[in-house]
Amino acid sequence: MSKRICFLILLGYSYFSHAEIKKLVIDGVYQQKNIYVQNYNSGSGVGYCATEIKVNGNVTTDEVNSSSFEIDLANLHLKYGEKITIEIFHKDGCMPKILNMEDLRPKPTFVMLAANLTTEGLLNWTSEHESGSLPFIIEQFKWNKWIPVGEVIGKGSSEKNNYSFKVPLTSGENKIRIKQIGLGNAVKVSQEIKVTSNKNKPKYVYNKNTQTIEFSDETMFEVYDVYGNVVKRGFGNKVECQNLPKAVYYLCFDKDVVELNKD
């Protein structure tokens, strides 16, 4: 397989050939947009490159004998967000070009119908109008910023979908939100979901002899250097610091940020 073919696969295309006819395969989701194709002259200089179009295995009636043409997806009675596979059969020595690939990529269009968070950290939500399978990113506000704490893959359908996720709560009030990121970093974020936890606030000590940070209870943590680089991250009741050079660090745990001097 040539380097050119490998590159196309990385972009989300599949590529096959048989004799003098080749096939370009594009997978995506229906976004209520038709697809436009730049159709070059064939490699022999006679006629145009594309010879036939199939969508989900069915031959379309699109006219391909021109320098550009439209794949009429609206005529195929597809559902919004439905997965589609487009096959473009074309002659050897040329390659048709999709002009609006972004219209086949999922966008963050979900509508949040209900969401609740229990005092044990169980987050449940119901959404609809998803336009394709995108991950729901669960974020928790702590350490003066929104921190991703997990992901749930969206079902991608327009009907009502139910989801759940176990959030590692901090002590006191917790603020959670749910987010999706689509093509071109398009972002959609839910409203904040709040709950007050009965969890005790953990304490910490730095043991200079063993060069470890020890917590009184398990907690999520991050350790930053003075330049803002994360040097340690995890969940537990101990942070091993033997490999860190002597310096000032910032320890984030529960909802706190404290300065830590390793000397």
Looking at residue 29, what is its pLDDT? 87
What's the rounded Cα separation, in Å, for the pair 217 and 201? 8
Q: The pTM is what?
A: 0.73
Looking at residue 263, what is its pLDDT? 80
What's the rounded Cα separation, in Å, for the pair 132 and 109? 9
Check if the beta carbon of residue 4 is closer than 8 Å to that of residue 13. Answer: no
The residue whose two tokens read 């229906």 is 30
Per-residue pLDDT of the chain (263 residues; tens, 9 = 90+): 444 433 333 344 454 544 488 999 999 888 889 999 999 888 677 789 999 999 999 999 999 999 999 999 999 988 887 889 999 999 988 999 999 998 888 889 899 999 999 999 999 999 998 888 899 999 999 999 999 999 999 998 888 999 999 999 999 999 999 999 987 778 999 999 999 999 999 999 999 999 999 999 999 999 999 999 999 999 999 999 999 999 999 999 999 999 999 88
Looking at residue 138, what is its pLDDT? 98
Looking at residue 4, what is its pLDDT? 40
